[in-house]
Structure 1
Amino acid sequence: MARRFLVPGLLACIALLTGIFAGPRLVEWASGAEHGPDNAVATLWATTLPAPDNTAQALAQFRGKPLVVNFWASWCGPCIAEMPALATLHKHYAAKGINFVGIAVDTAPNVQGFVHRVNVDYPLVIAGFGGGDLARQFGDEQGALPFTVVIDASGKVRSTTLGQVKPEQLARTLDAL
Structure 2
Amino acid sequence: MQRLTEHPEPQPLPEGLSFTDAEGRQTGFDAFRGKALVVNFWATWCPPCVAEMPALDRLHAQLATEGVEVLALSNDRGGRAQVEPFYRRTNLRHMAIWLDPRGATGRALGVRVLPTTLLIDRRGLEVARLMGEAEWDQPPVVAAIRRLTRTPAPTTTRS
Alignment root-mean-square deviation, CA: 2.2
Q: Deviation of residue 166 (structure 1)?
A: 3.8
Q: Which moved more, 1:75-84 or 1:109-118?
A: 109-118
Structure 2 vs 1, CA of residues 174 and 151 (structure 1 numbering), >3 Å: closer, same or farther?
A: same
Number of aligned residues: 133
Q: What's the TM-score, normalizing by structure 1?
A: 0.66
Alignment match, 1:114: 86
Alignment match, 1:93: 63
The answer (yes or no) to whether the contact 1:138–1:149 under 8 Å persists in 2 is: no
Which structure 1 residue ranges, 5 or more long, are not aligned? 1-36
Structure 2 vs 1, CA of residues 173 and 78 (structure 1 numbering), >3 Å: closer, same or farther?
A: same
Structure 2 vs 1, CA of residues 84 and 115 (structure 1 numbering), >3 Å: closer, same or farther?
A: closer
- Higher RCO (CA-CA < 8 Å; seq separation 6+): 2
The structure carrying a bigger strand percent of its residues is: 2
Which of 125, 133, 139 is 2:110 aligned to?
A: 139
The answer (yes or no) to whether the contact 1:57–1:125 under 8 Å persists in 2 is: no
Could you tell me which amino acid in structure 1 is paired with residue 69 of structure 2?
N
Higher Cα radius of gyration: 1
Q: Which moved more, 1:74-83 or 1:111-120?
A: 111-120
Structure 2 vs 1, CA of residues 69 and 56 (structure 1 numbering), >3 Å: closer, same or farther?
A: same
Could you tell me which amino acid in structure 1 is paired with residue 12 of structure 2?
D
Q: Hey, what's the Cα distance between the residues in 1 that align with 2:66 and 2:13?
A: 26
Structure 2 vs 1, CA of residues 49 and 159 (structure 1 numbering), >3 Å: closer, same or farther?
A: same
Structure 2 vs 1, CA of residues 112 and 94 (structure 1 numbering), >3 Å: closer, same or farther?
A: closer
1:119-134 alignment, distance < 5 Å: 119-120=91-92, 121-128=94-101, 130-131=102-103, 133-134=104-105
Structure 2 vs 1, CA of residues 61 and 115 (structure 1 numbering), >3 Å: closer, same or farther?
A: same
Q: What's the TM-score, normalizing by structure 2?
A: 0.73
Identity of aligned residues (%): 33
Alignment match, 1:74: 44
Which of 160, 163, 169 is 2:129 aligned to?
A: 160
Alignment match, 1:56: 25
Q: Residues 9-32 of structure 1, C-alpha deviation per residue, up to 9 Å, x if partnerless? A: xxxxxxxxxxxxxxxxxxxxxxxx
Q: Deviation of residue 57 (structure 1)?
A: 5.0
Q: Hey, what's the Cα distance between the residues in 2 that align with 1:49 and 1:135?
A: 13
